[in-house]
Amino acid sequence: MIEVAMLRNASDRLAAAAGGCRSNYERCRLDRDFNEWMYRTVLASLAAFAVLAACAAAYLIGSGQDALSLTLVPASGLAAALLVFYARACSVKSMKDYRGALIDASLVHVVGFMLTMAESNVPLNKMFENISNLGGVYGEDIALEAAYILSLVEEDGMDVVSALRVAQSTSPSAAWQELLIGMAEVYGSGGSLNEYLKGKYQAFTDRKRLDVKKYNDSVQGLSSVYLSIVGIASIFISLINLVFNMAGWLSSDSFVWLDALVVVPLGSFIVVYMMKASDPEA
């Protein structure tokens, strides 16, 4: 990649000012440095500016527009650059939120596993090492969080309590942050980690049970809405088609086909999407 010193300096200043985006980026646990990500984002935005501005200029000149219309060229390029920059920033926030949701979905199972290890007097470092090796069971995202804690201890030379505090401050999951803060306090004060994990496991289990109950209630409600709206709409459309045929205003079953090919599939898709979005395990 060809680096321009002025552009690099500008992207570094922009990265220093973008505190919220940096925070979201750190919670994604990506390998690339945030300043490098910002530099690539600036390059992509400038490329979008150049491409769209060139296309707009070529179109306006080719269509014989007056000189005043050429003022739209930089405006269109600027709009493209801002759109690319905003899309890149939104993708980072979306990834952070998605990672947090995945961690929350499997956290109760991880806490149960940690409780089992605590009852067997497994050291805290070994707990996170075991979790980091079980990404296929508990999810790669929570395994990555455990691996990050290990890297702070083994590579950066931190003690376990400090590593837990640093890891919780950059975690995408509020529930995981809550767990790590409590573990740091209990472990640092010499308290019973076993009792703490037992209490957290009960709390997360109750929360999961409540989420599942809410989901079941929403499924029942959506099912009733689906049967009431889509089912009744299908009957109503069929009756309209029959009346129109009897009156001679319609000679085919076009309304029935419209219902079968558009109304029912679209209604089913919306209901399934809403059910999947509210699933606590999604």
Judging by beta carbons within 10 Å of its beta carbon (0-12, 13-18, 19+), is residue 27 exposed, middle or buried?
A: buried
Q: What is the tens place of the pLDDT at every residue in 193-225?
A: 899 999 999 998 998 888 778 877 777 777 777
pLDDT at position 257, please? 72
Decide if 282 is inside a domain. Answer: no
Among residues 173, 206, 239, the one where a domain terminates is 206
- CA distances in angstroms from 86 to 32, 210, 255, listed in the order given: 19, 36, 44
pLDDT at position 92, please? 92
pLDDT at position 66, please? 63
Among residues 166, 181, 206, the one where a domain terminates is 206
**Count of structural domains, the chain:** 3
Residue range(s) defining the domain that contains residue 243: 209-277
> pLDDT-based confidence at 277, cuts 50/70/90?
low
Residues 201, 213, single domain; the answer is: no
Name every residue whose Cβ is closer than 8 Å to that of residue 215 and which is 6 or more positions away in sequence. Answer: 278, 279, 280
Residues 110, 171, single domain; the answer is: yes
Query: What is this structure's pTM?
Result: 0.71
Decide if 80 is inside a domain. Answer: yes
Q: What is the tens place of the pLDDT at every residue in 174-187?
A: 999 999 999 999 98
Decide if 64 is inside a domain. Answer: yes
Decide if 142 is inside a domain. Answer: yes
Decide if 123 is inside a domain. Answer: yes
Residues 202, 105, single domain; the answer is: yes
Average pLDDT over every residue of 138-151: 92
> pLDDT-based confidence at 65, cuts 50/70/90?
low
Residues 173, 118, single domain; the answer is: yes
